[in-house]
Structure 1
């Protein structure tokens, strides 16, 4: 019977800019790994040089184009008792970076997956934005094609959570123009540039103001944080009576119909039900 103890997969967060953010645990995990799977092996080795770390003998590239094929090999390595460290170019692996497929394969086999947490540009941007952070969503990179980008932004215009996006320096101006068109030029937003780096900049303003400021593009790594949309004004109870009537005509009891319609519009069931009764 095979007594080889299973190894583990460790997702290791790396600095998003400032090398002083490299944690002791990050250093220890890299130094003790049997195998490192890196988004870009050259960048990983350069990081090790700057941090005076000796990388393991085996460093394997795992990026968007080969992750699916590599996932099984890495899971096999973990199953064989090896400690596999997964790193992306910067930040946390699997967060808008390679890693998801590897984690899915390893975890799907019942093998250990753990992490050495590190900085994330999305969370850092949210924290410094000054926008509501109790409920938020990460949308990653916006579509490159203008039509797809506009359709996505239009679908998100009414989102009640703060939204965080990544964007490339040369497309950020067009992205902000499209955001202003979809969400209104007065909607608040924050553009974060080069977070934790020497030329870090946090630009606050309306979408209209930020679009003008970024018209010629911006340099560096970009995060856009978009304020939540405002709640739509609730209709008067009398205005939703036709909806209640349609439900009752389909066989739904009046009180249940009123409850469903009230919930859909943020109204009180009693007020909707009374409006329905008075309209009969």
Structure 2
């Protein structure tokens, strides 16, 4: 039975265009920053079931979404396309469109059958999914569903934007005021805190620790430090590095920092490189 609005959607795991398994709940779970900031809403995901690379209607729908993908990135929303195309074909289709979202392969039609989407009416291209678009909340409940049997039934970009807005308005992170709370400011430190430069380590009364940067992601501005004293991972956002604008640090860099206790674990503040 096709899931309808308000119903749970199965937590599918399917191979992507590289042949690597992708699970829907892995796409919707909160980011590492969200966990440390206490903003554990997660991300909505748009799941499109289509016929495959040969379908001109799928081609038209996905071309329209290629222009929408930059907005999805900055809006913290996810998108996946599912068809019976094998991963290699999905990879070629994806590259030709210039898409950056996962193209998932349901070659065995297990997910298509599970969702009641198998189309047995086609003469030339039998046993493909009925075109359907689902907009899911982070908990994988259906917020909206669009039957795309006729192309006019497929959602426009504006309809998808409206759906995402409705979902995100219910998030704890949506109001501006939440970002000005002590819990969030402990990991996303306002730049004005560093207006006078880097204060001496420990001047805040916090414990000082030493370690090496384990990783730092330029895209998100988040990273982890391995603490010398305990070997535990300590989270930090780039705003924990004193200075102005976007600040970065390379993996392996030796640092000293202050420890900020938090519900998800310790985070670093006043991160300073050492020789």
Q: TM-score, normalised by structure 2?
A: 0.25
Structure label with greater radius of gyration? 1
Question: Which structure features the higher share of strand residues?
Answer: 2
Question: Which structure features the higher share of helix residues?
Answer: 1
Q: TM-score, normalised by structure 1?
A: 0.25
